[in-house]
Amino acid sequence: MIKKHANKENMDRSIEVILGNLLKIGVLAAGSVVIIGAVLFLVRHGLETPSYHIFKPDSFNFSDFSNLFRGIIAFHSVSIMELGILILITTPVLRVFFSVFAFVYEKDYMYVAFTVIVLFVLIFSFFS
């Protein structure tokens, strides 16, 4: 009985470590992408003098993924920074997604149900 309890604690700990590393990697990746986009923006526009007399709206529309990915392919700095923000937003969603599998592996079906509900709410909130 004690050995079975120790194995469950080791399994719980390893799952926590994996999910923690997922969050760390996601935040580091998001920060790196944003920094790359910011440096690129400053290299291209850092010496420009802003003109506040005439309002010129941004010519790009980043409201959908196709425009975002077109901007990334065209190496637009703002699109690259937005990709970093998108990575930052999706990182905790991926944690919830992988938590479903962790709870299935642990055979903790009540938490599987709760986590699936949370995942559906998160996904629904992105598209509404």
**pLDDT tens-digit map of 86-113:** 999 999 999 999 999 999 988 889 999 9
More confident residue, 55 or 3: 55
Q: How far apart are CA 117 and CA 103, in angstroms?
A: 13
**Whether residue 3 has pLDDT greater than 60:** no
Contact between 15 and 102 under an 8 Å Cβ cutoff? The reply is yes
Model pLDDT, residue 22? 94
What pTM, to 2 d.p., does this model score? 0.79
Per residue in 45-62, pLDDT (tens digit) is 888 887 788 877 766 666
Q: Can you tell me the mean pLDDT for 11-35?
A: 93
The residue among 79, 101, 91, 93 whose CA lies nearest residue 33 is 79
Q: Say yes or no to pLDDT of 83 above 50.
A: yes
Rounded to the nearest integer, the mean pLDDT of the chain is: 88
Q: Is the pLDDT of residue 1 over 50?
A: no
Q: Which two tokens stand for residue 19?
A: 């999910």
Q: What is the mean pLDDT of residues 18-45?
A: 96
Question: What percentage of the chain has pLDDT greater than the value 90?
Answer: 59
pLDDT greater than 80 at residue 4: no
